[in-house]
Structure 1
Amino acid sequence: MLLTDGGEPLGAAAPAARWTVEQVLALAPDDASRKAGNKLGTAGPWSDTGGDVAGAVWGLCRGSGSKPYRTVIDTTGPAYKCSCPSRKFPCKHALGLLLLLASGGSAPPAGDPPDWAGEWLTGRRARAEVKEKTPDGGPADPGAARRRAERRAERIDGGAQELEQRLTDLLRGGLAAAEQSGYGLWDETAARMVDAQAPGLASRVRELGAIAASGPGWPVRLLEECALLHLLDTAWLGIDRLPQPLAATVRTRVGLAASAEGPPVRDHWLVLAQYDTPEGKIVTRRIWLYGRDSGRIALLLSFGAAGRSPGQALPVGVSLDAELTPYGGAGQLRAELGPQFGLPVPTGTPPPGVPVTEAIAAYGRALSDDPWLDSWPVTLRDVIPVPSPDGWQLTDAEGDAALPVAATALSRPALWKLVALSGGRPLTVFGECGHRGFDPLAAWPGGSEGGDTASPDPSSRALPDAVAATATATATATETVPLI
């Protein structure tokens, strides 16, 4: 629901942020949808396109039948409606319409939506308004809910005790047994944790199967992960003795659902990054936000089942005036997006950054609150991507400290975008800093002074020829550059 500063529905015309092609393609549920959407991202098959000041767009797409498909999108969700029979969500027509708008063409004519689009938009906005005004209700039967929670806690207790016994048997028999057993041992154990209704434990157990025989030093990595799993088991079994924030973190790590607890924080939130992670049959979308006034970092999580992308999406590089309600837990940054007081506005100003040494220290402090934390969001200032014997690293401008680029980032083409954006000059880079290195997610040209867009000297850092050729052009950008 879009509101004005006074809480009333947005009525004045306001320019909506234009989505990029990359952001639209990130909504696609699979590669086939991306290809089909690309084919429809031109003006040829479309007619009667339009939009309104509240962020809706619509159009008719010519198909194989006699009647065109009716497609309408509420970009503030985003949410989609199409008359085609596809079960994918969003369908190729919705992707095509968004790609048409993102391709650099003129904006659709503003006006009132046709009846077929207006009916859906009116219903959707009315439901959002009712949801906003209606307080969350408690369970219909609090006693029954409490009994269900107690039964689940008993099952998790049993699963944690069984997992402790299996870890003990593994250590007594020697870690070599894990290499011989392969994935079978861990798949069976993970299935037992699912039976115990502890999906968080099951997920961590499955990850152990990939460590054995994964390369030099795997016994050390396996022992480290087993120790963290043992720590989580022990924390759950003694959860009554833990401080409330740490107990909330343990519940989340075990797999119990949490809820946003508040109080809401209204701010101008800069969208730093958005990316999807497949987790079995579910796709998890992570959106990182930075509050201009509060200085807070927040994480929005949404989930999509097979064939559907997560519903929540925000264009990277825009700022939105909105309320966020944080979740509980020690060191947790997750929040829930509340009402928005206007349309997103593009901005190219990065958040304030910290030096490399402070980024490492911030991750260390976060670990004291959440020992199972893989990484911590941080913005680095005045860093330069340079080659290293093991891949790439981000070094400060003086060369006194450096962070290795995480292996997961080395395989992404966006690494070369980062190198080209730098061209041997300092950058501001947002990403996740953890024990596996630094995973860059967004960058801005220029260092702490901002706006340093002078032509770089790529040869000073011995960049590859293809990267050096594009460094000067790329480094003149002023907007947020997504790296994933």
Structure 2
Amino acid sequence: MAGDDERVLALAPDPASAAAGRAQAAPERWSGLGAAGTVVWGLCRGSRPDPYRVAVDRGEPAYACTCPSRKSPCKHALGLLLLRDRGAVPDADEPEWVRARLAEPARRRPARTPGAPPRDPEAAARRAERRAERVAAGAAELRDWLVDRVRSGLAGADAEELYGVAARMVDAQAPGLASGLRRAAGVIGRGRDWPGRLLTELALLHVLAEASTRLAELPTDLAATVRTRLGFPTDTADVLANGERVTDEWVVIGVVDEVTERLTTRRAWLRGRESGRPALVLSFAPPGRPLDGSLPAGHVVRGELAFHPGAAPLRALVVRADDPVRAGRPHGDAVSAALESVARVLAVDPWQERWPLLLDGVTPAADGDGWLLADDAGAALPLDERADPWPLLAVAAGAPVTVAGEWTAAGLRPMTCWDGDRTVRL
């Protein structure tokens, strides 16, 4: 049975879809199930009043579902196939709507072997070589500009100038360098200490640009980190085939949605109960489209993750996962231990923008115009001034609480807190 499941889940367009498909393979969610030859169909209860009509022809293959997902196959089609292979779908006469839906050309999907090499490996290698040359040229230009900029002083730094250099890094196919420049531009003029923070951002960019010229000399994990920070993609199939695998009970300590004009990004932060290891699972959707909800905050999921390579591996893919179950208040760290974990990470990956912290027994307190979280040992962390402290203050009511947040150079951005065993998303 497990082997059959893996064969079905290998059809998933990404690991998140595979995990969601497994969750859909629950007979109580379905009605009108039937199969005839290579075709299988059913009605799946979803978020809409009417159930989704799902049909699959394994012979084509072709997938049809009335859900709004653009993925093919969607989670409902995967769940249906899992039910069929588990013997939960009876043979029946094919309804008229099934063949009509499957006959649409858009429903056909060419057979694909997950992790298969490109159709033209030589052309792919040539494209990769050309991109590497462009990135190297862009990094060299950036290094020269940074030296000139620092020599001429930062007091006259102009955000438009940095945005212009960022645009040239985009042309050089180095989005990581462009992102760093845009982040540095956002520092200019913000607060009295902005020149120091700008110098920090530019110094990190210089180190990254310099490291890009020495990739062959760097340790494998550090070279992978540098490539990621430059913006080179990491192939999902490579992560699933070669990434470090960790099985644990993963507590979802926080979920953060970041919305832009073109894309909505969801960051699901996990922490292993047994390993204590943090993990970041990303999902994406166009504006207005639903995001993956298989990892809700305050729940625990037993499963296996595959980690992207790097000096401080954090981002991970879900290889397999059980259904999430509600968890009680998790065990966190003292402030000093949390800061030590951040220091260890920055020592090997100075470009890390955010790191998840889970703090036990911290109390919100005013600190001048801002706020901080202090523990009973007297150690404290400042809150990011851009974070809204009032939801956290309302839950804490002056008492110590457990808080999960994203630690950044600007301070802690609270994501979740626990009122007893009740999870409150901030």
TM-score category by the smaller chain? 0.7 to 0.9
Aligned residues of 2:43 and 2:51 also touching (Cα < 8 A): no
1:394 aligned onto 2:403: no
Q: What amino acid maps onto 2:397 in structure 1?
A: G
User: Where in structure 1 do 4 or more consecutive aligned residues deviate above 6 Å?
Assistant: 87-90, 114-120
Corresponding residue for residue 143 of structure 2? 164
| Distance in structure 1 (CA, Å) of the matches to 2:43 and 2:422 | 22
Query: 1:382 Cα deviation (Å)?
Result: 1.4
Corresponding residue for residue 356 of structure 2? 377
Corresponding residue for residue 421 of structure 2? 478
Distance 1:374 1:89, change over 3 A: same
Residue of structure 2 aligned with 1:346, choices 289, 308, 326? 326
Give the root-mean-square deviation of aligned CA atoms: 3.5
Residue of structure 2 aligned with 1:423, choices 390, 394, 397? 397
Q: Deviations over 1:391-432 (max 9, x none)?
A: 21111024x2111111232x3xxx333223222222121112
Alignment of 1:253-332 (within 5 A): 253-259=229-235, 260=239, 261-279=242-260, 281-311=262-292, 313-332=294-313
Q: Deviations over 1:163-187 (max 9, x none)?
A: 11221221232223314xx42x122
| Distance in structure 1 (CA, Å) of the matches to 2:281 and 2:355 | 14
Query: 1:444 Cα deviation (Å)?
Result: 1.9
1:433 aligned onto 2:414: no
Distance 1:312 1:141, change over 3 A: farther
Aligned residues of 1:58 and 1:117 also touching (Cα < 8 A): no
Higher RCO structure, 1 or 2 (CA under 8 Å, sep 6+):
1
Q: What is the number of equivalent residue pairs in this alignment? A: 354
Corresponding residue for residue 77 of structure 2? none
Q: What amino acid maps onto 2:325 in structure 1?
A: V
Residue of structure 2 aligned with 1:250, choices 226, 237, 241? 226
| Distance in structure 1 (CA, Å) of the matches to 2:402 and 2:344 | 22
Corresponding residue for residue 405 of structure 1? 383
Corresponding residue for residue 200 of structure 2? 224
Alignment of 1:17-416 (within 5 A): 51-52=29-30, 56-58=44-46, 61=49, 70=50, 72=52, 82=66, 135-179=114-158, 182-183=159-160, 185-259=161-235, 260=239, 261-279=242-260, 281-311=262-292, 313-340=294-321, 342-350=322-330, 352-398=331-377, 400-409=378-387, 411=388, 415-416=389-390
Aligned residues of 1:283 and 1:309 also touching (Cα < 8 A): no
Aligned residues of 1:286 and 1:302 also touching (Cα < 8 A): yes
Query: 1:251 Cα deviation (Å)?
Result: 0.5
Distance 1:155 1:479, change over 3 A: same
Query: 1:375 Cα deviation (Å)?
Result: 2.8
Query: 1:135 Cα deviation (Å)?
Result: 4.6
Distance 1:323 1:118, change over 3 A: farther
Gaps of 5+ in 1: 11-49, 62-69, 75-79, 91-110, 121-126, 446-476
Distance 1:165 1:59, change over 3 A: closer
Q: What amino acid maps onto 1:239 in structure 2?
A: L
| Distance in structure 2 (CA, Å) of the matches to 1:234 and 1:285 | 31
**Identity %, equivalent residues:** 41
| Distance in structure 1 (CA, Å) of the matches to 2:182 and 2:135 | 17
Gaps of 5+ in 2: 7-27, 32-41, 55-63, 72-88, 102-107
Query: 1:265 Cα deviation (Å)?
Result: 2.4
Q: What amino acid maps onto 1:191 in structure 2?
A: A
